[in-house]
């Protein structure tokens, strides 16, 4: 069982609202510091602000690349990744080109993922010798089982650190236990798993972690932490 502090450290709290104001972002980042989340996920425009406000804290700055559909060109994603790292992002959530994957253009997807991972990691080393953490979003709600397996293999071979289930924008589910089990079966313990999409209860979050997730991506991180009661969970488990 996790303490509340340990549970909070498993959450990437997200605020990807296109109309968000600077004042709203400041409140979001202050909340991230207060709750000691693993990362605060913001749009690339807000990365410099997040870097300033989260400096010398234990909360990482994360930003999405190719969000939400992943269908911009490969060179655009590579530039986005380099630019984000140059602005201070420590973690990237990169959306795989699912359209290319579902069209059978596996070689394109493999090359894209490898180039983005290499570009981000090299940019990070150039800036301050810190390694950038890369998470690849495969959008499980729109993939068949066979496509999920292929996506997992591409992520594994790309050198990325994590696979992430969903952007949370595809509908038709999100973070499902069966997907976490499948991903873990394919990847084993070597690649992290970030479950994301529709995580709104502590029970769901705990089930995903028990199934093998290492991180939880959600816009409801504060609510989850405030609802988390390890003593109550222990009582109900008995």
CATH of the domain at 44: 3.20.20.70
β-strands 215-218, 11-14: how paired?
A: parallel
pLDDT at 128 over 60: no
- Checking if the pLDDT of 127 tops 80, the result is no
Check residue 230 and give its pLDDT: 84
pLDDT tens, position by position, 1-53: 899 999 999 999 999 999 999 999 999 999 999 999 999 999 999 999 999 99
pLDDT in tens, 164-202: 999 988 876 678 999 999 999 999 999 999 999 999 999
The alpha-helical segments, DSSP class H, found in 47-105 are 47-53, 74-86, 98-102
* Catalytic annotation, pick one of 60, 148, 164, 179: 164
Range of the domain at 202: 4-237
Among 93, 148, 161, 179, the one annotated catalytic: 93
Number of separate domains in the chain: 1
For residues 208 and 195, the answer to whether their CB atoms sit within 8 Å is: yes
Instruction: Please tell me the predicted confidence (pLDDT) of residue 194.
Output: 98
Average pLDDT over the chain, rounded to an integer: 94
Quick check: helix, strand or coil at residue 191? coil
User: Is 161 marked active-site?
Assistant: no
Confirm whether 194 is a catalytic residue. yes
pLDDT at 131: 81
For residues 94 and 121, is the Cβ–Cβ distance under 8 A?
Answer: no
Kindly report the pTM of this predicted structure.
Answer: 0.94
Given 60, 135, 148, 194, the catalytic residue: 194
């Amino acid at each position: 069982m996790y303490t509340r502090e340990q549970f909070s450290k498993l959450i990437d709290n997200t605020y990807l609202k296109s109309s968000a104001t600077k004042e709203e972002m400041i409140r979001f980042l202050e909340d991230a510091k207060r709750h000691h989340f693993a990362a605060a996920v913001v749009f690339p425009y807000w990365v410099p602000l997040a870097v300033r406000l989260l400096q010398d804290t234990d909360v990482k700055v994360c930003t999405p690349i190719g969000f939400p559909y992943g269908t911009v060109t490969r060179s655009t994603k590579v530039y986005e990744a380099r630019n984000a790292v140059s602005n201070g992002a420590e973690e990237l959530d990169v959306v795989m080109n699912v359209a290319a994957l579902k069209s059978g253009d596996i070689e394109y997807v493999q090359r894209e993922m490898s180039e983005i991972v290499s570009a981000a990691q090299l940019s990070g080393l150039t800036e301050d010798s810190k390694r950038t953490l890369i998470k690849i979003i495969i959008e499980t709600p729109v993939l068949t089982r066979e496509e999920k397996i292929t996506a997992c293999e591409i992520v594994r071979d790309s050198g990325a650190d994590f696979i992430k289930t969903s952007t949370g924008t595809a509908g038709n589910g999100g973070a499902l236990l069966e997907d976490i089990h499948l991903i873990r079966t394919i990847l084993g313990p070597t690649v992290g798993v970030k479950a994301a999409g529709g995580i709104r209860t502590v029970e769901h979050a705990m089930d995903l972690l028990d199934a093998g997730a290492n991180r939880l991506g959600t816009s409801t991180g504060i609510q989850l932490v405030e609802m988390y009661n390890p003593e109550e969970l222990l009582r109900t488990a008995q």
